[in-house]
Amino acid sequence: MVNEKQITEAAEQLDHHVAEIINWHFSEKTGSSFWLNWAKEQSWNPLEEVHTFGDLCAKFPYFEDGWLRDLPNEVWVPKAYAGRPFNIFETGGTTGMPKQRIGWDDFRSDYTEFSKTLNDEHFPRDHYWMMVGPTGPRRLRLAIEHLANERGCSCYFVDLDPRWVKRLIATQQFDQARAYMDHVVDQALTILKHRQVSALFTTPKLLEALADRRDLVKAGIKGVFCGGTTMDKQYARFLTEEVCEDGKIGFVPTYGNTLMGLARHRPFGPENDYSIAYYAPQPRAVLRVVNSKGEPVEYDQWGRVELTTLTKEFFMPKFLERDEAIRRKPWSEAPWDGVAEIRPFGAMEKKIVEGVY
């Protein structure tokens, strides 16, 4: 059980980190041109008025995702990183310009940290992994390889282009979408047939498709690290009980993206009706569940997911994700708010194209 002391300490740590990051990004010595110029246009000074996470939420407006589409990448380079080539990672882009985030070492830090949450039984060290999912311009591809390497493993890759899948589904070319998914699964099964693989990273739907065609336990899979599309309670239960055969394969759902990093899940099961709650890698990133006024909703209520990223490489305050979730209480291993049962924002009102990613 989490106690008040843990919660208070985590909040203090976050406040301390916020102050450090604000000082970094709004200092002429270390900050990026984007934030320095932005601050000049404001009637207030972040360096003077933002010392805590509460201050940040009160003072900063929502981050505009258009900034990541329209502005050149260089504006986001903190002066302290000047001269170092950066990675360009993308998210979105099914139609039009994708959002781009630049980075250097954040993905390594995030996934090194995440590795500590995996157990050796399901994710054995010094073996082989396979990622079946979106590679290309995504941070995830390098991140998964780093995670595998971090555990002494090497990783095979089978690519899936989610932008194409979404287009196929949006234009109701379901046969083509299925054929493409079969093509991806075929390649993964070929690797499984000819190589020893103990851990998989994939999306829920691809995991299910793989398991439809091959007994994953017999194929030697011990752990599955899974993320990408909505997993409601029933789907999480199905993947746990039936696809992963009730623990024979360790099932590790995650919530993450290029802008945040990776949120870990709190153990779930029949005791909580398979409601999966995710906890951001605080203080490097903070997730809140907010109402239309931007205020946190009550615990166990639905709201929109808001992300704040707080690293020296990237500062992104109050970005409204295209997801909604239930706000959950702090947990002893992550004594801050969690976000549960994530689904596309407005999923109950309209049909959302998710595809296989």
Partner 1 sequence: MKTIPHLPALRLGEPYQSLNHSEVIDYRDGTIRATLSQVNPGVIRRDLKNISSARAALQKFTSTELLDICRKAGDAFLNDNLPVGNDGLGQGPQQYIETLSSTSGLPHIMVRKNMEKIHFALSNMSTILNGLTRGLDLEVLDRGYGEQSGSPVCFHPTTKALGLVMPSNSPAVNSLWLPAIPLKIPVIMKPGKDEPWTPYRLMQAFISAGCPAEAFGFYPTDHEGAADILRLCDRALIFGDKSTTDQYAGNPGVQVHGPGFSKILIGDDEIENWEDYLDVMVSSISENGGRSCINASAIIVPKYAREIADALGKRLGPIKPMPVDDPSALLSGFANPKMADWIDSAIDSDLEITGAYEATAPHRDGPRLVKAEGGTYLRPTIVACDSIDHPLANREFLCPYASVVEVPQIEMLDKIGPTLVVSAITKSESFKNELLLDSRIERLNVGPIPTMKISWDQPHEGNLFEFLYKRRSIGMAA
Q: Are 153 and 225 in contact (CB under 8 A)?
A: no
Q: Are 148 and 114 in contact (CB under 8 A)?
A: no
Q: Which of 242, 246, 295, 300 contacts partner 1 by CB under 8 A? A: 242
Cα Rg of the chain (Å, integer): 20
| Of 71 and 217, CB closest to partner 1 | 217
Give, in order, the Cα–Cα distances in Å from 64 to each of 61, 193, 249, 307: 9, 46, 40, 12
Position 340 contacts partner 1 (CB under 8 A) = no
Q: Long-range contacts: 113-120, Cβ < 8 Å, 24+?
A: 113/281, 114/147, 114/254, 114/262, 114/264, 114/281, 115/147, 115/150, 115/151, 117/264, 118/151, 118/223, 118/225, 118/252, 119/250
Position 356 contacts partner 1 (CB under 8 A) = no
Segment interacting with partner 1, rule: CB under 8 A, options 50-58, 234-242, 255-263, 326-334: 234-242
* Closest distance of CB 333 from partner 1, Å: 25
Position 215 contacts partner 1 (CB under 8 A) = no
* Closest distance of CB 356 from partner 1, Å: 12
Position 300 contacts partner 1 (CB under 8 A) = no
Segment interacting with partner 1, rule: CB under 8 A, options 29-37, 43-51, 54-62, 226-234: 226-234
Position 206 contacts partner 1 (CB under 8 A) = no
Q: Are 300 and 326 in contact (CB under 8 A)?
A: yes
Position 235 contacts partner 1 (CB under 8 A) = yes
| Of 167 and 237, CB closest to partner 1 | 237
Segment interacting with partner 1, rule: CB under 8 A, options 16-24, 83-91, 219-227, 232-240: 232-240
Give the residue from 149, 136, 223, 166 showing the smallest Cα distance to 352: 166
Integer Cα distance of 333 and 29 in angstroms: 36
| Of 64 and 242, CB closest to partner 1 | 242
Q: Are 258 and 300 in contact (CB under 8 A)?
A: no
Position 157 contacts partner 1 (CB under 8 A) = no
Position 232 contacts partner 1 (CB under 8 A) = yes
Binding to partner 1 in span 75-104, by CB under 8 A: none
Query: Looking at this protein, which amino acid is placed at residue 85?
Result: P
Position 208 contacts partner 1 (CB under 8 A) = yes
Integer Cα distance of 238 and 223 in angstroms: 16
| Of 274 and 357, CB closest to partner 1 | 274
3-state SS, 174-233, equals: HHHHHHHHHHHHHHHHHHHHHCCCCEEEECHHHHHHHHHHCCCCCCCCCEEEECCCCCCH
How far is CA 22 from its chain centroid?
23
Residue whose pair of structure tokens reads 């916020």 in the numeric block? 18
Position 214 contacts partner 1 (CB under 8 A) = no
* Closest distance of CB 274 from partner 1, Å: 6
Q: Which of 234, 291, 301, 332 contacts partner 1 by CB under 8 A? A: 234
Residue whose pair of structure tokens reads 């258009």 in the numeric block? 66
Position 243 contacts partner 1 (CB under 8 A) = yes
Position 111 contacts partner 1 (CB under 8 A) = no
* Closest distance of CB 210 from partner 1, Å: 12
Q: How many residues bind partner 1 (CB under 8 A)?
A: 13
Give the residue from 5, 7, 3 showing the smallest Cα distance to 335: 7
Contacts with partner 1, 263-282, as mask; x by CB under 8 A: ----------xx--------
Question: What residues line the site for partner 1 (CB under 8 A)?
Answer: 174, 208, 212, 232-235, 237-238, 242-243, 273-274
